[in-house]
Amino acid sequence: MPPASMVLPHQPAGYLETPATESFIHKLQLSVSKGLPHAAPAPASRTDEHELVKSVFQVLQGFDTHLLYWDKNVPAYCKKPGTYVSHLSRASLGSVLKPFLFAATCLKRVELFVGKVRSCGRGTPTLSAFASAVDSWLMRLREAALKEEEKSFVSVDRTVTLLALTDSMSSLCLGAEHLYQVVHGALPDGFWGSGANIASSEVAVHVVNHIFKKLNEVCLVEDGEGEPYHMLLVIFAGSLLPYLQCLDSWLYDGILDDPYEECSFMQIMQLR
C-alpha cells in the first residue's frame, strides 16, 4: 500500500481522463463546471473557423447559411444559437463576427428597400432612379465580396482567419454602412402608410434634398475625397436622371414630357 503522502485527492470521474484531442475551451469548461456534462457546449454546435469565414462571405452576398441566417423578426443577420469554435470563447467569437453581421444586415436592408420601392406600385421617376442607383452600388459591394472570396480560397493550402478578414473587408463593411445611411430617411415620413397620398414632386424633392445633405456632411468630413463621397455622387447623379431627360426633351424636342409633374420648372414653362 502506498504511503499516505502518495494518495491523490478524489477527482470527479472523467476529469483527469480528458482526451488530448478535446479543445482548450472544452477543458476549461469542464474545470469550471466540475465535469458536469450539461455545462459543456453541444458537440453538434461546434464548427471550425474556415466554415465561418465561408459563411461570412455568403451573408455579405445576401445568402443564408447553416451558421449565419437572416432573422426576419429582428430584422438582421444572426449567428446560429450555440455555435462555437475550439480556440475562441463565445464572447470573442461574437465580437469578431459583429462587424460582418452588421455589414451584411445593412446590405440586406438596402436590398429589401429597393425591392419594396419596385413593387409598391407608386414608383415615381425620381424614386425609381434613386432605387436603381442604390441597387447598382449594392451589386458593386456584393461583387467585391465575391471577388474577395475567390481570392481568399484560390489556394487550398491557404488558411483565412476571421481576424485577417476583418482587415481585408474593413472598407467593404464601411461602405455597406454608408449605403444604408443613404437609404435610411430617403423617403418622406408616412410614405409607406396605407393611406399615404404624397405628391410625386414632394417625394422627388425629399429624395434629392436627402442625398444633397449627405453629400455636404461627407464633404465636410472627408473634403470631397474617399469612397463614401464617390458613392453619393454616383447615386445623386443617377437620381437626377429623370430631371435631365425631361430637360433634354424640352430643349431638343420642344416637348414638355413630365407626366408625374416632378419638375416645377416645367409647370412654369407650361403656364407661359
Per-residue model confidence as pLDDT tens digits over 183-219 = 999 999 888 875 467 888 888 899 999 999 999 998 8
- Inform me whether the pLDDT recorded for 23 exceeds 90: no
Residues 35 and 45 in one domain: no
For residue 264, being part of any structural domain is answered with no
Distance between CA 270 and CA 169 in Å, rounded? 52
* Helix (H), strand (E) at residue 38: none
Are 19 and 78 in a shared domain?
Answer: no
In this structure, are 138 and 68 located in the same domain? yes
Say if residue 209 is in the same domain as residue 99.
Answer: yes
Clarify whether residues 115 and 157 are in a common domain. Answer: yes
> Could you report the per-residue pLDDT of 142-153, keeping only the tens digit for each?
999 999 999 988
Judge if 177 and 83 occupy the same domain: yes
Is 3 within the bounds of a domain? yes
Summarize the confidence of residues 169-185 as an average pLDDT: 96
**142 and 157 share one domain:** yes
Q: Which band of pLDDT confidence, cut at 50, 70 and 90, is reported for residue 51?
A: very high
Same domain, residue pair 96 and 177: yes
Is 118 a member of any domain?
yes
- Looking at the fold, whether 108 and 135 belong to one and the same domain comes out as yes
Print the domain residue range for 23: 1-40
**pLDDT tens digits for range 211-255:** 999 999 988 776 667 899 999 999 999 999 988 888 887 778 777
- Give me the pLDDT at residue 14, please: 44
In a domain, residue 263? The reply is no
- Whether residues 69 and 159 share a domain: the answer is yes
Q: What is the DSSP string of 149-208?
A: HHHHTSSTT----HHHHHHHTHHHHHHHHHHHHHHTT-S-TTTTSTT----HHHHHHHHH
pTM here is 0.79
Q: In this structure, are 28 and 94 located in the same domain?
A: no
As a whole number, the mean pLDDT across the chain is 82
Q: How many domains does the chain have?
A: 2
